Homo-oligomer: A and B are copies of this chain.
Amino acid sequence: MTKRLNAFVASANSSETQFPLNNLPYGVFLQGDLKRCGVAIGDFVLDVAALEKQGLIDLGQPLLQSAAWNPVMDAGSDIWGQLRARLITLLSDGSADQNAVEAALYPLTDVQLLMPFTVSEFTDFYAGKHHATNVGTMFRGAENALPPNWLHIPIGYNGRASSVVVSGTDIHRPSGQLKGPDDALPRFAPSKRFDIELEMGAIVGRPSSDRVSVDQADDMIFGYVILNDWSARDIQAWEYQPLGPFQSKATATTISPWIVTKAALEPFRCETPTRDFELLAHLKDTGPMLYGIDLGVTIAPKGSDATEVIRTNYKEMYYSAAQQLAHHTSSGCPMRVGDLLGSGTISGATKDSRGSFLELSWGGKEPFTLDSGETRSFIEDYDTLTLQGFAKGSDFKIGFGDCTGTILPAK
């Protein structure tokens, strides 16, 4: 089992930190007026743009001077490996450059975290079997829960890149066209069934112009974020036939501030589940391509403490991000650096592992109770929702930072 690496930054050596030297996640931070690329280490963010300017990081060309990690992605996987190796050297216990590196550390509590990369396009999948079964059972009955195609392809739809925001961004409750089953005509009103979807996001770091294999797809992935695909269930119910969700998913999608690289997650790879049908050749598993990542969601009403309402794990997915990406290219669809692929809602088999309020309250029929005594079926105004994820080693854990958002009233 992989062990914790020792950093000269004391807070990075605690078993409690989500940013040990093994992690080194990539973000963008605002310090003063400057937006800069940074790497989280213990309680600090390392100003890697400054270290590059000083020559302590040299990637052959300046790649860390913009307020996004896309240039690093674009430079290719050799550079990904070089940068990670150099960061480990710089931050390790006994680093020859400790003084210079220390001068480029800012306490995380002093900086604001911004979008870590420019999202080219956003695709969202529907690739968790428990989630699809739960939703299908609610809408079509247990006998027809999974659509006929579901066990053969990772069902996905294109989302809206312009609506992806970083953790901490307040979200206004959306309005939209709604029509209940007993209403004669639709009306335009604030959503009453606003929801979360607990997901992981995979970031495409290498482009493709043609169909790619599952192995090639895995190589193209730069890293992962936690992702909350805010969803207005009542807008969705009225709009989604026949061409899928549109405005119900376009208000916002929140991602964690830190991109955890594929390299950091390597020790946590795990297999996808046993298949009901053998997958066709272009989608077949070629190795462990999911990751064991514990996921949780808390909800904090205004003025109340947070209650954890969901606990699940990324390994509950039926399809890996590599399989999703391979499918995404199957028609020849070009992929670009910065494309973001949402896994789909990650639900487990038990009630408390359901990754959305729609499932947790079973369509609103079974409200759940918070520690404060309040109940919820869907999100109320001023609720703060926080998603977290941790891959756990023997004596360390790898985190993504909070993926959080507070819901404000409809405008």
Which chain B residues lie closer than 8 Å to A149 at the CB level? 177, 179, 186, 238-239, 241
Q: Is the CB of A331 within 8 A of B158?
A: no
Q: Is the CB of A331 within 8 A of B156?
A: no
Q: How far is the CB of A90 from chain B (nearest CB, A)?
A: 36
In the assembled complex, A266 has its CB within 8 A of some CB on chain B: no
In the assembled complex, A157 has its CB within 8 A of some CB on chain B: yes
In the assembled complex, A85 has its CB within 8 A of some CB on chain B: no
Q: Nearest B residue to A210 by beta-carbon distance?
A: B411
Q: Nearest B residue to A158 by beta-carbon distance?
A: B158
Q: Nearest B residue to A162 by beta-carbon distance?
A: B334
Q: Is the CB of B335 within 8 A of A157?
A: no
| Stretch of A65-73, A274-282, A360-368 with 4 or more beta carbons under 8 angstroms from chain B | A274-282
In the assembled complex, A228 has its CB within 8 A of some CB on chain B: no
In the assembled complex, A38 has its CB within 8 A of some CB on chain B: no
Q: Is the CB of A250 within 8 A of B333?
A: yes
In the assembled complex, A355 has its CB within 8 A of some CB on chain B: no
- Contact A162 to B333, CB < 8 A, known contacts A149-B241, A210-B411: yes
Q: Is the CB of A331 within 8 A of B174?
A: yes
In the assembled complex, A232 has its CB within 8 A of some CB on chain B: yes
Which chain B residues lie closer than 8 Å to A243 at the CB level? 126, 155-157, 240, 244-245
Chain A: interface size category = 35 or more
Q: Is the CB of A250 within 8 A of B175?
A: no
Q: Would you give the 0/1 interface string for A42-79, flagging 1 where the beta carbon is closer than 8 Å to chain B? A: 00000000000000000000000000000000000000
Q: Would you give the 0/1 interface string for A237-274, flagging 1 where the beta carbon is closer than 8 Å to chain B? A: 01111111111101110000000000000000000000
In the assembled complex, A187 has its CB within 8 A of some CB on chain B: yes
- Contact A247 to B330, CB < 8 A, known contacts A147-B242, A153-B239: yes
In the assembled complex, A332 has its CB within 8 A of some CB on chain B: yes
In the assembled complex, A161 has its CB within 8 A of some CB on chain B: yes
In the assembled complex, A311 has its CB within 8 A of some CB on chain B: no
Q: How far is the CB of A242 from chain B (nearest CB, A)?
A: 6
User: Which A residues between 322 and 365 are near B, CB-CB below 8 angstroms?
Assistant: 327-328, 330-336, 339
Q: How far is the CB of A392 from chain B (nearest CB, A)?
A: 33
Q: Is the CB of A211 within 8 A of B162?
A: no
Q: How far is the CB of A161 from chain B (nearest CB, A)?
A: 6
In the assembled complex, A407 has its CB within 8 A of some CB on chain B: no
Selected contact of A235 from candidates B158, B161, B235, B331, CB within 8 Å: B331
Q: Nearest B residue to A410 by beta-carbon distance?
A: B332
Selected contact of A174 from candidates B126, B159, B332, CB within 8 Å: B332
Sort A-B residue pairs by CB-CB distance and give the 4 closest, nearest first.
A244-B244, A250-B333, A158-B158, A247-B331
Residues of A near any B CB (own CB < 8 A): 120-121, 126, 147-149, 152-153, 155-163, 172, 174-177, 179, 185-188, 210-211, 232, 235, 238-248, 250-252, 277, 280-282, 327-328, 330-336, 339, 411
